[in-house]
Structure 1
């Protein structure tokens, strides 16, 4: 039996007395696009941040590529093959586009791999190549999102975590972002995406998990979920 690339078991995340994630279980197979859906406050970003080591887990376990990464320091993950493009983009506004991308290659040693990463990102995002010397803070919101994803790709990850990649973007740019997700997946990148644009997420995903009140309310094939009432019931709080 092939082991999933990512396994989340009984994950528990708390902020003081507030329980954000309540013992959830899910897995991501290599080559899949998995969507984590849910209303605001459902626990989606907390789940992603716990996987990425940005918030401590109160209980449970995260396995990635056969290795226990529970509460591993975030800077260790790119070397293992996992990177995060965070909510709100979080680019370094006073650094150039090229300097932001260089941050994503931190820790890489092989000059050929680094050169290949530059080529890949600039091929995916020609606008970043054009604006490589421009301060990241002067880019449009869509361009900053491309930069955030490009930075996450610089370490050539097996798995990319995307937190709200369409947030605050114009409809045309949102379409481009989801086309990019499909392209990256076709290139062999496994993707776990937290997204509030449910219809777009389900259009590109293989499967989805819907969170409500920190628990998985429903899950299944993305197209089947899109056509069922389970999704709406979950969003209304039925866990």
Structure 2
């Protein structure tokens, strides 16, 4: 079976610093795949390279069977790839509904945009209640919901989630992970970077353990649990 996403020998440099050192990953359609590892391991750099936000210094990124290594985010979104970035990055001076509309910039069909709005508002009723409120005045949890909702507005085949629970209260974290499982039921494939290891292993199908910019372990989550050593990886040992 051809994977929806295939990353081969990916390297990412920031000037003289190498963040990603030859990573190989695959994501099959319908999966939730978690990228696990300590802070600074190279997880977000990998995700940002897939999303076209940082250039791949070496290697190849294939999406839906097409080489997309050098494509910009605005070219990837219409193909079905969307990112909910770390830190939310909503537009604070725009309303909730305007932020969502920004996520649908590549969608030309007005009916499709209306359907996307309905979908997001059904997933996040609080966003509908506050659709005219400025995004900068929302709570952290509500901004995270908005960031995920904005990414969903383009109707992605693959949703990249970068630290969706970071800095959120436990109750909101539960809601975010419940949402991720609902999206899988709706046939959205998800690649997840998340430091909440326990919650990630509860919902993911497979995982890649990343340390020092390299994949040091991979497999189905039940196998990763049985291997042990995860604690040392996440403590940076």
Q: Which residue of 2 aligns with 1:172?
A: 171
Instruction: Count the aligned residue pairs.
Output: 237
Distance in 1, Cα, partners of 2:49 & 2:205: 23
Give the alignment of 1:92-103 within 5 angstroms: 92-103=91-102
Residue 25 (str. 1) matches residue 24 (str. 2): yes
| 1:107 lines up with 2:106 in the alignment | yes
- 1:72 paired with 2:71, answer yes
- Give the structure 1 partner of residue 145 of structure 2: 146
Residues 34-57 of structure 1, C-alpha deviations (whole Å, 9 max, x = no match): 000110110000000000111111
> Following the alignment from structure 1 to structure 2, what is the Cα–Cα distance between the partners of residues 174 and 226?
22
Displacement of 1:77 in angstroms is: 1.2
> Which structure 1 residue ranges, 5 or more long, are not aligned?
none
Alignment of 1:70-219 (within 5 A): 70-219=69-218
User: Can you list the C-alpha shifts for 1:7-40, whole angstroms capped at 9, x where unaligned?
Assistant: 0000000111111000010100000000001101
Of 211-220 and 223-232, the range deviating more from structure 2: 223-232
SS of corresponding position for 1:56: coil
Cα-Cα RMSD:
1.1
- What are the equivalent positions in structure 2 for 1:213-228 lying under 5 Å apart? 213-228=212-227
Mapped to 1, the partners of 2:124 and 2:231 lie a distance apart of 35
Instruction: Provide the rounded CA distance (Å) in 2 between the counterparts of 1:235 and 1:154.
Output: 33
Unaligned runs of 5+ in 2: none
The equivalent residue for 1:42 is 41
Describe the SS at the equivalent of 2:12: strand
The TM-score with structure 1 as length reference comes to 0.97
CA distance in 1, matches of 2:234, 2:98: 40
Residue 15 (1) aligns with residue 14 (2): yes
Instruction: Provide the TM-score with structure 2 as the length reference.
Output: 0.97
